[in-house]
Amino acid sequence: MTDNTDTDRDSDALRPGDHVEVLGNEHLHYNAYVEDTLPQFNIAWVREQRTGERKMLFTNECRILRRET
């Protein structure tokens, strides 16, 4: 089940360990796990599940769907 987190208004709802799908322009970019957040600046750091690459996201520039595990 997917929880559509509206990160523009609720970026502080993301927590380390959350499994998320990151989308831009309605296309799936990648699956990842949240490592850290800075909600006051709309920033989240995620670890891409397939490659292990760490990425910094501006949560107001992409859509983040939290996946329930």
Q: What pLDDT, in 10s, does the model give residues 2-59?
A: 444 444 335 678 999 999 999 987 677 899 999 999 999 999 999 999 999 999 999 8
Distance of CA 5 to the CA centre of its chain: 9
pLDDT top residue among 27 and 64? 64
Pairing of strands 54-58, 43-48: antiparallel
Give the pLDDT of residue 28. 72
Model confidence, pTM: 0.76
Contact status, residue 20 vs residue 14, Cβ threshold 8 Å: yes
What domains are defined for the chain?
2-67 (2.30.30.520)
